[in-house]
Amino acid sequence: MKVTLVSHPIVAPEFYDRLKGTEMGEREQSLGSPYVEDADLVPEAAGRVCYDSFDLPNPATRNNADYLANIKRQLHFSVLEHSNFTFHVAEVSRALLAEITRHRHLSFSVRSQRYCWEGDSQMVIPSALLGDDARDLQVRILKLQGEAKELYGDVVGHLMANGLKRKEAHDAARYVLPEGTHTEFYVTGNGRAWLEFLAKRDSPHAAQEIRELAGLIKWELCQVAPGMFTSD
């Protein structure tokens, strides 16, 4: 499994210009080098504009971490929607893809099995079957993978020989591929969407593969938006 954080919020210099003359602006020290990560700063500013509280009147929420912690306690997640984060996810199964797309507030761009050649694809072996006591089952899974890829290639070859276009041949052939076949996708979500994803998937109750994915995504999010994603 490979997870790469592709993009996260970067605040424009004009934003800091607008903060000048406020206590929040002074707190950020100097233009271009704030001590609060931009991804955390955006939802704080969005929240403060609602109450014109840029002069930090409440000592309990004066710093960014306390402010966002209070937002999360009160479940005022709408301000977290102003920060977006995009990931590239690869070497995961189509089974995982089917699960993660249930999170409807995330946006996806997925490798197409209709257009892309899948004859060289690899397959995820479930972690529950990776132990030494399951070696026989691992061998059988790899054999199944090899047979599926061979059949996939035969189907594509047969259909194209009978006049179908490549896309149409791939479309039919993909039905023989196991659910564990590798895929890759880009996924984008705002702070609220990722919090809700982590609440459900970074959990002992989640399936192992998507739980591993949630752990890697959470680690990346905590680097660029600790106020939003670091647990209290």
Cα torsion 171, 176, 181, 186 to 10°: value is: 20
**pLDDT 10s digit of each residue in the chain, 232 long?**
999 999 999 999 899 888 888 999 888 865 455 578 999 999 999 999 999 999 998 999 999 999 999 999 999 999 999 999 999 999 999 999 999 999 999 999 999 999 999 999 999 998 889 888 999 999 999 999 999 999 999 999 999 999 999 999 999 999 999 999 999 999 999 999 999 999 999 999 999 999 999 999 999 999 999 999 997 5
Answer whether 169's CB lies under 8 Å from 156's CB: yes
pLDDT at residue 27, as a whole number? 86
pLDDT at residue 31, as a whole number? 47
Give the list of residues 6+ apart from residue 180 with CB closer than 8 angstroms, or none: 93, 94, 95, 123, 124, 125, 126, 141, 145
pLDDT at residue 29, as a whole number? 64
Q: pTM, whole model, 2 decimals?
A: 0.92
How many angstroms separate the Cα of 133 from the Cα of each of 55, 124, 143, 169? 63, 18, 18, 39
> CATH 3.30.1360.170: which residues of the chain?
7-86+188-229
How many angstroms separate the Cα of 94 from the Cα of each of 3, 146, 173, 175, 211? 16, 17, 15, 12, 15
What is the SS3 assignment for 207?
Answer: coil
The residues annotated with a catalytic role in the active site are 201
Answer whether 177's CB lies under 8 Å from 148's CB: yes
Q: CATH for 7-86+188-229?
A: 3.30.1360.170
Query: Residue type at 19?
Result: L
Answer whether 23's CB lies under 8 Å from 56's CB: yes
pLDDT at residue 30, as a whole number? 52
pLDDT at residue 28, as a whole number? 81
pLDDT at residue 18, as a whole number? 87
pLDDT at residue 151, as a whole number? 97
Q: Is 87 exposed, middle or buried (0-12, 13-18, 19+ CB in 10 A)?
A: buried
Answer whether 33's CB lies under 8 Å from 60's CB: no
Residue 53 corresponds to which tokens in the numbers above?
Answer: 């509280």
pLDDT at residue 44, as a whole number? 95
